[in-house]
Homo-oligomer: A and B are copies of this chain.
Amino acid sequence: MNRFRLSRFKEKSVQTRFAVLLSGKMIGIGALLGGIKLFSYLLDTPAGAAPMQTVAHKAGDFVSPVNTIWVLVTAFLVFFMQAGFMALEAGFARSRESVNIMMECIFDTCLCGLLYFAFGFAFQFGLGNGLIGHSFFFLHGMTASYTYGGLFDTKVAFLAFFLFQFAFADTASTVTSGAMVGRTSFKGDILYSICVSGFIYPIFGHWVWGPGGWLGNTMGWFHSLSPHAVFRDFAGSTVVHTVGGFIALAGAIALGPRLGRTFKRDGGGPTAPHDVNIAAIGGVILWFGWYGFNPGSTLSGMDWVGIGRVAANTTLAACAGGMIAVLFVYPRSKKWDVGMSINGFLGGLVAITCPCYWVSPAGAIMLGAVAGIIVPLGIDLLEHFRIDDPIGAVAVHGFAGIWGTLSLGLFATGQYGLPTPDGADNKTLVVKGLFFGGGMDQLKAQFIGSLTCVVIVTGVALIIMFAIKQLPGSWNLRLERDLELEGIDITEHGLPAYHMEFGQGFSYTTYTGKAVGETSEVVQPTKETV
């Protein structure tokens, strides 16, 4: 039998069939093995080091990279706040003035960059006297790392430091535009922006943060009033936000309200936000950007405990501000006010900006909560005085900025000093507030600094704004009446913000739930548009 079967292999047809079967099997096995091979090939991840060059590093080699990376990443975040401001301001504004907001933010950023390069940075961070710096014009004479005018090495790349500070200057400039939305001529905007980005912000900034600045070092003429403490502003509640907010106030006063804007005591009220969604997203972008603003202000990634504390304090103050603002206005309106929640957390963020390094998380919550009450009250105050601030910039940046600055004198725990390029220095120059047994020293210094800012910056800004309001024609700060009536976006920029194609890219539904289509003549309800 066996033999018989084997003998059958001599037959042609059997051989063929066998060959086919065998080939099939082999292909199958091959495919299986191949598949397994491919599978393991695809999934295989061999990892092994291949160090080719050898460079002997010392530990000190890493300080500047770590600090520069930290400052750059946070500078990027601060820059990104521009997108947040654009979305927030446009969303809170009317649709007819939102293109103007976009354009101002972009143009002012470009302007600020060039001015800051030419002389803004020199005024603020150049070595000079207590009032103004005068080196580094056009960034001339810069060194590898920025050294505070040759006094102290930050161990941060000079141009990374420059970028970080530019992003701050740009923020101050943008805050200003917030209260002046919808009625400022574009040429007027250019003029005041030059003053803000090129002069007011950098010069006041020099007083607090510049090498030898009088507020940050000696308190100048006020030394005898505050002999034991100097003005401290970690990330700019005063330098950026009070400055920006009070220039905004001066601008809003000089401009007067937008045409058609009536106030509560006259039976009117604020204009409706034209896009709540984009405003809210913009607010969150700002919160995100604040993680550059505050933690980056250590200028040092080596102070790892400090950057963690600053970031957490920033968060908690924002949370408290956002929640308290909503709960504060709810009993009055019986509405859960989304605009107030946004301005509330922004107020908390502004407030924590000054004391973020020196307070505890619980302190951050308390001072953020207070900011959450200040913001709605501040908005009411401006409404009462018939000042048209379409996005609440004065209350959020101006008033919460003052509160934040003062709060350092109350909540500083006395445990923290200053960040250094090599780590925290919590031994010298420790800040202690009233509630922690530090007495009135720091509070007095904060009060002097904040008051100086409000008085001088507002004064100068009022002069500038009213001066620009005297200029003729299109250079006047205020857009001409006809152009404003026709719509600032159309008259200044030539186009409206939105242009929809009905039925193809855009459709809507009526109250009754039916979709609205359109015939050749008039809009009429139909079953389905698209």
Contacts and interface: CB of A to CB of B under 8 A. Distances in A.
Interface in A498-522: 498-513, 516, 518, 520-522
The 10 lowest CB-CB distance pairs between A and B, nearest first, are A95-B505, A157-B308, A113-B319, A160-B308, A487-B504, A159-B312, A96-B504, A102-B280, A335-B494, A96-B505
Interface in A140-168: 140-145, 147, 150-153, 156-163, 166
A455 interface: no
Contact of A362 (B138, B319, B421, B423): B138
20 contacts: A49-B144, A55-B63, A61-B302, A66-B69, A68-B304, A75-B311, A95-B506, A99-B338, A102-B280, A106-B322, A110-B323, A117-B316, A156-B308, A160-B311, A273-B495, A338-B495, A500-B506, A500-B507, A506-B508, A520-B525
Interface stretch (A39-47, A200-208, A401-409, A462-470): A39-47
A447 interface: no
Interface string A43-64: 1111111111101111111111
Interface in A99-130: 99, 102-103, 105-107, 109-114, 117
A70 interface: yes
A269 B288 CA distance: 37
Nearest to A148: B52
Given A304-B68, A494-B335, A87 B277 contact: yes
A82 B64 CA distance: 31
A496 interface: yes
A90 interface: yes
A260 B501 CA distance: 13
A442 interface: no
Nearest to A290: B76
Given A335-B493, A361-B45, A524-B522, A106 B308 contact: no
Contact of A53 (B47, B90, B152): B152
A226 to B, nearest CB: 24
A132 interface: no
B157 A309 contact: yes
Contacts of A322: 106-107, 109-110
Interface residues of A, number: 176
Contact of A107 (B102, B157, B326, B518): B326
Given A323-B111, A490-B504, A495 B276 contact: yes
Contacts of A319: 109-114
A374 interface: no
A381 interface: no
A333 interface: yes
A308 B43 contact: no
Nearest to A97: B505
Contact of A422 (B47, B57, B102, B510): B57
Interface in A310-333: 311-313, 315-316, 318-320, 322-323, 326, 333
A462 to B, nearest CB: 26
A342 B106 contact: yes
A345 to B, nearest CB: 7
Given A111-B323, A144-B305, A159-B305, 18 more contacts: A45-B361, A53-B420, A55-B422, A69-B73, A72-B295, A83-B284, A83-B288, A102-B280, A106-B342, A106-B345, A107-B341, A109-B319, A160-B307, A162-B308, A333-B494, A497-B505, A502-B508, A506-B508
A338 B65 CA distance: 38
A291 interface: yes
A360 B67 CA distance: 22
Contacts of A460: none
Contacts of A415: 45, 47
Nearest to A509: B501
